[in-house]
Amino acid sequence: MRHTRATLPTPISTNSFWHSEPNEFLIGHRTTEDLPAEADIVIVGSGITGTSAARFLAEDERANGKKIVMLEAREACWGATGRNGGHCQPLLWDRGADVAYFELKNVHTVRSYIEKHNVPCEWRTVSGCRQFWTQEVMAEAEKEIAHLRTIAPEIASQLKIIKDKDELARHRVSPDCIGATLTPGAGSLWPYKLVTFILENLVKEGRLNLQTTTPVTELSSGANSHTLHTPRGTITAPTVILATNGYTSALLPTFADLIVPVRGEMSALFPPEGSSILPDSYGMVAALGQPANADDYLIQRPYSGVPNPAGHLMFGGGRGAGKLPTIGVSDDTVIDPDSAAYLRSALLKVMQLDGATAGVQELKAAAEWTGIMGYSRDDHPWVGKVPGQEGLWLSGGYTGHGMPNGTLCGKAIVDMVLGEGAGGDLAEVQARLVEQGDIPKSYLITPERFVKARLWPTVEQQDSGGVHMNGVV
């Protein structure tokens, strides 16, 4: 069983709520009327990863004077980052202690930038409340946390397991839930507004040439440079950074079975009349008969102090309720009506929503849309130089968990690019980054990892077999 290549992003897509307040400066933006023929560094993709790479290049004196161009197939931040669940929640026991440290560091970096620059993106520091709806998934979580206490007690000490019904009620979780975990340091936000804030500043400061609605249709490589083909012409650069996540294999066929596009469903739901804001961000594991490896996820927008302060319940998931295929799908023009129906009704059962809920069978949707995630075959992002391709770099494959990873993955790519460009040995640069906690070793792209990853079942086999691919978008 093998996956086919992803398609390029479709020219049109379902209407994400996050795009309901577009950045007018960036809509249709092309910093120069014509596509430049050459650049020092080309970044493909304008989501959280590509934008972070551009930001850290601008902040690093080693990149002074370099001509940096960003190519985006659609409008700025119109892919996964502009379509996700608005979570920035670290998962502390799912992939190892080094990953937990990295995700905590990533969330801190995001929050610090927002606070320093007063970014109007509705950031709210919350706890992460992860619900477990069967005895089996609760027992597995407790087992993993017990193991974490032996290998990383300082992280485990931040985790709290709650099963008491009164305590669950304080977190507005249904008493039918078996139990939940609480973790500090999570955030909810309007991700599109964060990314476009950064991009607008970079463009206005003259640090970035942004070319929207310019899809890369082909990538060809020569001895010392790469040529990116677009409908508007070609651009050549010695260094290319692919921040293409689920669409990666459209340009790199060798990644077709390693980073697989997966379509996810999202909704913005009006809360019951008179209801109060939920205290946490939420993940629901195996709720309402959903498979244990397809989590649902929820944050809530503010009721005050922001434009359109309606307290929308930003709820995603419902993959197990859907009828349409999702694995290997890179088309986000389609909504699955069964997944959408599940999302409109499920919160009334899994949460204790207050306000006027009597007789309400489903919540009204302000928007329903889909987005394309990139699932990694070995459950870790792929960050580093593409083997055998001098000057070609990649960061993607977040398995629905990009917000707590993409910022510092983008920084790590920049550190590798500039470190090697200054004459450093890439292996030494990477070793230093790992030692400093700036990238988990398991994220690095190596020829050996290709071989090991292909010993795993395919993403489709893992999904159908119930293997938990940690998707909290």
Residues 161 and 293 in one domain: yes
Residues 455 and 344 in one domain: no
Which pairing describes strands 392-396 and 239-242: parallel, antiparallel, or unpaired? parallel
Residues 162 and 266 in one domain: yes
Residues 363 and 321 in one domain: yes
Q: What is the mean pLDDT of residues 218-235?
A: 95
How many other C-beta atoms lie within 10 A of the C-beta of residue 304? 7
Q: Is the pLDDT of residue 321 over 70?
A: yes
Closest alpha carbon to 415 in 403, 397, 431, 433: 433
At residue 473 the predicted structure's pLDDT band, cuts being 50, 70 and 90, is very low
Report the CATH number at residue 55.
Answer: 3.50.50.60
Contact 363, 270 (CB under 8 A): yes
Residues 174 and 271 in one domain: yes
Number of structural domains, the chain?
2
Contact 6, 246 (CB under 8 A): yes
Which tokens in the block code for residue 301?
């927008």
DSSP designation for 273: T
At residue 468 the predicted structure's pLDDT band, cuts being 50, 70 and 90, is low
Q: Is the pLDDT of residue 470 over 60?
A: no
Residues 312 and 425 in one domain: no
Instruction: Indicate the pTM of the whole model.
Output: 0.96
Q: What is the mean pLDDT of residues 416-438?
A: 96
For position 400, what pLDDT does the model report? Answer: 94
For position 391, what pLDDT does the model report? Answer: 96
Which tokens in the block code for residue 276?
């109060």
- Residue 90 in any domain: the answer is no
Contact 459, 377 (CB under 8 A): yes
* Domain end among 304, 337, 372: 372
Q: What is the mean pLDDT of residues 148-152?
A: 92
Q: What is the mean pLDDT of residues 381-385?
A: 98
- Residue 103 in any domain: the answer is no
Residues 304 and 411 in one domain: no
Residues 280 and 317 in one domain: yes
* Domain end among 372, 400, 420: 372
Closest alpha carbon to 186 in 166, 202, 171: 171
Structural domain boundaries enclosing 58: 17-82+192-259+378-464
Least confident of 40-44, 95-99, 251-255, 406-410: 95-99
Q: Is the pLDDT of residue 236 over 70?
A: yes
Residues 297 and 359 in one domain: yes
For position 300, what pLDDT does the model report? Answer: 98
* Domain end among 372, 397, 416: 372
Q: What is the mean pLDDT of residues 374-381?
A: 97
Q: pLDDT averaged over the chain?
A: 95
Contact 10, 333 (CB under 8 A): yes
Cα separation, 187 vs 113, whole angstroms:
13
Q: Is the pLDDT of residue 73 over 80?
A: yes
At residue 469 the predicted structure's pLDDT band, cuts being 50, 70 and 90, is very low
At residue 223 the predicted structure's pLDDT band, cuts being 50, 70 and 90, is confident
- Residue 234 in any domain: the answer is yes
For position 2, what pLDDT does the model report? Answer: 56
**Residue type at position 199:** L
- Residue 3 in any domain: the answer is no
Residues 266 and 254 in one domain: no
**Which parts of 171-280 fold into alpha helices (H)?**
191-204
DSSP designation for 403: T
Least confident of 63-72, 148-157, 191-200, 461-470: 461-470
Residues 143 and 175 in one domain: yes
Report the CATH number at residue 280.
Answer: 3.30.9.10
At residue 464 the predicted structure's pLDDT band, cuts being 50, 70 and 90, is confident
Residues 148 and 233 in one domain: no
